[in-house]
């Protein structure tokens, strides 16, 4: 049973010790904190879902170098929220096909435990000439669709995100969001949604949202 889901981005900037004397991500971190706090309320169990690089030629996440940024940031957000309950880690390789992502979401929803999801994902990193991946004109329409889907609690629209386009746009959230789409589709009702943040201060699209059932 999924009680709620928090959707947060996972730039390393959210790790405070990496950002320097001036906190370059204070507003974003505060928004994540709000979403996570609210989603954890009443939960007994947390499933952390985050994209990961794949072992070349496979759909398995490559964890040889440790946890991917998505799960590292997710664990930090849980620490910041002083979560001490059980946490299950679900790294999802960025090559995982949409169908498999949806199936994994359905499996999570089938659990008998009241579970909160913390879904880590970033939009395109090609939103401006100074963005990490420079500018790609497809980035804004892609992210606009993503934001609409997250704002409206639309699992189908998340499921429709194109995996190849997401990879081209360095949008590292696609697989994780589609796990969320699978879980949401298995619920009996659409979620109540709140979006706490949607901006691209450094050329990468960050969205913080909260879905509750």
Partner 1 sequence: MLRLGSRTFTDDQMLVMAIVNRTPDSFYDRGATWEEERALDRVHQVVAEGADIVDIGGVKAAPGEEIPVAEEIRRVAGFVAKVRDAYPDIVISVDTWRAEVGREVCQAGADLLNDAWGGYDPALAEVAAEFDVGLVCTHTGGVRPRTRPHRVHYDDVVQSAIRDTVALAERAVALGVDRSRILIDPAHDFGKTTRHSLEVTRRLNEMTATGWPVLVSLSNKDFVGETLDLPVEERLVGTLAATAVCAWHGARVYRVHQVVETRQVLDMVSSIKGLRAPSRAVRGLA
**CB burial class (10 A; 0-12, 13-18, 19+) of residue 89?**
middle
CB of 154 to partner 1, least distance (A): 27
x/- site string to partner 1, residues 112 to 151, per CB under 8 A? Answer: -------------x-----xx-------------------
Beta strands in the chain (DSSP E): 2-8, 45-52, 87-93, 115-120, 192-199, 206-212
> By CB under 8 A, which span of 10-18, 92-100, 135-143, 188-196 interacts with partner 1?
10-18
Q: Which member of 203, 207, 210, 212 binds partner 1 (CB under 8 A)?
A: 203
Structure letter (DSSP) for residue 17: G
Question: Judged by CB under 8 A, does residue 22 bind partner 1?
Answer: yes
Q: Which of 161, 204, 176, 147 is nearest to 71 (CA)?
A: 176
Nearer to partner 1, 83 or 206 (CB): 206
Question: Judged by CB under 8 A, does residue 67 bind partner 1?
Answer: no
Q: How far apart are CA 150 and CA 177, in angstroms?
A: 9
Give the footprint of partner 1 on this chain (CB under 8 A): 11-13, 18-22, 24, 125, 131-132, 201-204
């Amino acid at each position: 049973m999924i009680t709620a889901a928090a959707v947060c981005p996972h730039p390393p900037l959210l790790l405070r010790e990496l950002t320097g004397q001036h906190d370059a991500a204070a507003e974003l971190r505060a928004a994540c904190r709000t979403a996570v706090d609210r989603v954890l309320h009443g939960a007994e169990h947390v499933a952390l879902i985050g994209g990961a690089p794949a072992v070349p030629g496979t759909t398995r996440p490559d964890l040889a170098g440790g946890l991917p940024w998505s799960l590292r940031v997710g664990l930090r957000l849980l620490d910041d929220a002083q979560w001490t309950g059980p946490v299950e880690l679900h790294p999802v390789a960025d090559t995982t096909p949409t169908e498999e992502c949806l199936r994994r979401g359905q499996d999570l929803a089938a659990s008998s435990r009241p579970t909160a999801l913390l879904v880590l994902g970033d939009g395109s990193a090609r939103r401006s000439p100074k963005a990490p991946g420079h500018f790609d004109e497809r980035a804004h329409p892609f992210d606009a669709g993503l934001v609409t889907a997250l704002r409206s609690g639309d699992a189908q629209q998340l499921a429709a995100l194109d995996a190849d386009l997401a990879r081209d746009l360095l949008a590292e959230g696609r697989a994780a969001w589609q796990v969320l789409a699978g879980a949401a589709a298995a619920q009996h009702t659409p979620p109540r949604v709140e979006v706490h943040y949607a901006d691209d201060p450094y050329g990468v699209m960050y969205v913080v949202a909260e879905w509750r059932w």
